[in-house]
Amino acid sequence: MNRAFSPFVKSLLVAVLAVSATAHAEDKKPAHAEPAALKGDAAKGSTLFGSGDAARGLPACVSCHGEGGNSTITVNPKLAGQNAGYLNKQLVNFTTPERNQPVMTTYAKMLTEQEKLDIATYLAAQASKPNAAKNKDTVELGKKIYRGGIAEKNVPACASCHGATGAGIPVQYPRLAGQHQDYTVAQLGLFKADGRKNSPQMSTIAKRMSEDEMKAVADYVAGLK
């Protein structure tokens, strides 16, 4: 009798083990699977940047940041060629106390997470128009600080994070090459006064710099390509 039921018992045992293994594997799965990462749509970003959304009262970004993100208003940043991850992070930061700015905070809160990424993706693909240093008397000081820092003030070389050519590092550190001098000086001032709180590193560094040193660096990076 044992021989007669042996194949059946063996099959039953295999089936039970299989079910048990499957159940164990299911137990290991997270209760809520992580959502798939969003991907930016440059075409949709282009439409929002160039036309805005009148139905929501969202103006076209181009009105302040220029065609293709090449702002001609020196207090507004040039966004063309900026790292998409960094741009997206800033748009998110504008919706938090970390970077509260009356105009951008209002508009950033109107955008969905997908739209933020779409705009960032579009701008990252645009070519940045070259700029130039303006003050020949301070450009060497700016170059020295950018490349070597200020040892006596414990200010690191800007190039160590933003790159030798000012290209930046995606998400963490922005592209600085060709940026308007006025905008760069203003941001360093905000970091120094804790008016901008989304980069502890920059707040620490800016507090160690004088206004003249900030202006020199800002002028130097404007000429980087």
pLDDT digits (tens), the chain, 225 positions: 444 445 443 443 444 344 344 444 444 444 333 345 789 999 999 999 999 999 999 999 999 999 999 999 999 999 999 999 999 999 999 999 999 999 999 999 999 999 999 999 999 999 999 999 999 999 999 999 999 999 999 999 999 999 999 999 999 999 999 999 999 999 999 999 999 999 999 999 999 999 999 999 999 999 999
Question: In this structure, what DSSP letter does residue 18 have?
Answer: H
39 and 87 in contact (C-beta within 8 Å)?
A: no
Q: List, as one string, the DSSP characters of 158-223.
A: THHHH-TTS--BTTTB---TT--HHHHHHHHHHHHTTS--S-HHHHHHHTTS-HHHHHHHHHHHHT
Specify the pTM: 0.83
Using alpha carbons, list the distances in angstroms from residue 132 to 65, 168, 186, 220.
18, 18, 18, 8
> What is the 3 state secondary structure string of 25-62?
HHHHCCCCCCCCCCCCCHHHHHHHHHHCEHHHCECCCH
Instruction: Report pLDDT for 26.
Output: 43
Distance (Å, whole) CA 126 – CA 164: 21
Instruction: Report pLDDT for 37.
Output: 74
Distance (Å, whole) CA 80 – CA 137: 29
Q: What one-letter code names the amino acid at 31?
A: A
Handedness of CA 66, 69, 72, 78 (dihedral sign): positive
